[in-house]
Amino acid sequence: MDKIREETASRGKDSENLLVLLKRAQGELGCVPGEVIAEVAQSLNIPINEVYGVATFYSFLSTKPLGRNVIRICKSLPCYLKNSQMIVESIADRLGIKSGETTSDGKFSFELTNCIGACDKAPAMLINNDVHGDLTPRKISQILKTYT
């Protein structure tokens, strides 16, 4: 039983879990660049392509650098019905960038994302880990000011 428990512990260990490691890198570095992918592959003794495969599968991991604050605007049907396009335009207008881009000062990146589970407050978006709902252009400019 002890042996089983040990094996279970090592299986569940964060330090050996590829996704956990990549999420940590994303959190600390703001992206998972090629060098990190190679390092992680080496430390876990697995092929680079396997690490790359995971790093590019999930939408919250990025191989390219992102801004300090990542805005994710929901583009799914319930938000679309509540004019999420207006949010996209308003953000693009204020930040001077298109979706998929980062501001030159590195403060904001913005992208479109699929349903974030805030359909009761549509249109909605995430900035980093915060959810903002019932958005209007006016509300957006106030919200953006609170991020540095």
| Interaction site with other proteins (CB under 8 A) | 1, 4, 7-8, 11-12, 16-23, 26, 53-54, 57-61, 76-78, 80-81, 113-122, 126, 129-131
If we measure between CA atoms, which residue out of 107, 126, 24 comes closest to residue 69?
107
Q: In whole angstroms, how close is the CB of 143 to other proteins at the nearest point? A: 15
Residues near 116 by beta carbon (within 8 Å), at least 6 away in sequence: 72, 74, 124, 125, 126, 131
Q: In whole angstroms, how close is the CB of 105 to other proteins at the nearest point? A: 25
CA angle 135, 139, 142 (to 5 degrees): 140
Q: In whole angstroms, how close is the CB of 96 to other proteins at the nearest point? A: 26
> 91 vs 118, which CB is nearer to other proteins?
118
Q: Where are the alpha helices (DSSP H) in 13-146?
A: 18-29, 34-44, 48-55, 77-81, 84-95, 137-145
Q: In whole angstroms, how close is the CB of 16 to other proteins at the nearest point? A: 8
DSSP class of residue 123?
S
> 82 vs 140, which CB is nearer to other proteins?
82
> 12 vs 35, which CB is nearer to other proteins?
12
